[in-house]
């Protein structure tokens, strides 16, 4: 499946509370919450030395992808544009030897 196809299909299931204009805040906050849920599972792996079923990780990543897709859509940005931009940025950092380090503009 292509990124933009996923984004179009995800849009079909988007229902936001009426009090939130266009879903902007809802999707961004929910995205952070879903990342937290994934990190909580990873914490349990590290803390308890247990294995989390692969399907649970896939489920959390899927939720993250859905909210990422909808957050991008709320900014009128396609997932394909996000993916292309990110790879171009990371490739540039690699070529300049700045993959490691800190700061957005390196």
Please report, for the domain that includes residue 51, its CATH number: 1.10.287
Q: Is residue 17, in this structure, part of any structural domain at all?
A: yes
Residue-wise pLDDT for 36-90, tens only, equals: 999 999 999 999 999 999 999 999 999 999 999 999 999 999 999 999 999 999 9
Residue-wise pLDDT for 33-51, tens only, equals: 999 999 999 999 999 999 9
User: CA-CA distance, 81 to 100, in Å (whole number)?
Assistant: 24
Q: Is residue 97, in this structure, part of any structural domain at all?
A: no
Q: Is residue 66, in this structure, part of any structural domain at all?
A: yes
Q: How many domains does the chain have?
A: 1
Angle 82-88-92 from CA coordinates, rounded to 5° = 145
Q: Is residue 65, in this structure, part of any structural domain at all?
A: yes
Structure confidence at residue 21 (pLDDT): 63
Q: What percent of the chain has pLDDT over 70?
A: 92
Q: Is residue 72, in this structure, part of any structural domain at all?
A: yes
Q: Is residue 71, in this structure, part of any structural domain at all?
A: yes
Structure confidence at residue 102 (pLDDT): 73
Q: Is residue 96, in this structure, part of any structural domain at all?
A: no
Burial (CB < 10 A; 0-12, 13-18, 19+), residue 67, is: buried
Query: Domain of 49?
Result: 3-79
Phi, psi dihedrals of residue 51, rounded to the nearest 5°: -100, 135
């Amino acid at each position: 499946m292509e990124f933009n196809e996923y984004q179009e299909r995800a849009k079909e299931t988007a229902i936001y509370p009426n009090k939130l204009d266009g879903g902007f805040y809802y999707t961004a906050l929910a995205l952070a919450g879903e990342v937290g849920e994934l990190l909580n599972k990873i914490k349990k792996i590290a803390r308890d030395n247990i294995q989390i079923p692969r399907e649970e990780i896939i489920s959390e990543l899927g939720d993250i992808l859905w909210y990422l897709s909808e957050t991008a859509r709320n900014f009128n940005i396609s997932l394909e544009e996000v993916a292309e931009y990110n790879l171009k940025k990371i490739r540039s950092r690699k070529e300049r030897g700045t993959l490691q380090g800190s700061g957005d503009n390196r």
